[in-house]
Amino acid sequence: MDVTTPASTDPWLIVGLGNPGPEYAMNRHNVGFMVVDLIAEQIGGKFKRAGKAQAQVLEGRIGPAGQASRRVVLAKPTSYMNLSGGPVNALKDFYKVPVANVVAVHDELDIDYGMLRLKLGGGDNGHNGLKSMTKAMGSDYHRVRFGIGRPPGRMQVADFVLKDFSSAERKELDYFVDRAADAVECLVIEGLERAQSTYNS
């Protein structure tokens, strides 16, 4: 079966990458959490602690009502970004999710702010959350890459990603997060190719 085409009976694991705690909530590095929080709001559920896994999870369905909808598990690892792989792999195994049905939603330095790129597999491009996930379960999972742009001047990357979005960026942040949530739904319901043609910018 083409790995970009979901089997209707297989659940999807949609992982927002970020760091736990209110001090990180509006950081650029936490945009994955923001997108998954919005999807949770749209399906009308609340996150709960995931048993032994270091994560918060929410089970539900996305997409149109009936057979076209898909069962999803939304997840936010609480292990901090650099250790995301262990909790994600544990959830993948617990919910019996194929690796190709895992979606990582994360910030991406090499894409302009607010732009999206969706893909299956590939490298981690220096992103510690992806590096940890790939080490834990291989690289054949989907990514929804949310552009945050490069740091200005001589600012270090680590400082840039752990800073809050600027006031100018926040004016459009809700719109871009909403668009990323729509892209995740399109990926799960209609497959990677359709999602790429619609949302890759």
Residues identified as active-site: 29
Range list of H helices, 44-200: 85-94, 128-137, 157-161, 167-190, 192-199
Pairing type for strands 12-16 and 70-77 reads parallel
> How far is the C-alpha of 185 from the C-alpha of 189, rounded, in Å?
6
Local structure of residue 153 (DSSP, 8 states): T
How many alpha carbons fall within 13 Å on the CB side of residue 18?
27
Place of tokens 């760091």: 19
Q: How far apart are CA 77 and CA 80, in angstroms?
A: 7
Cα angle, residue 34 at apex, residues 194 and 6 outer, rounded to 5°:
30
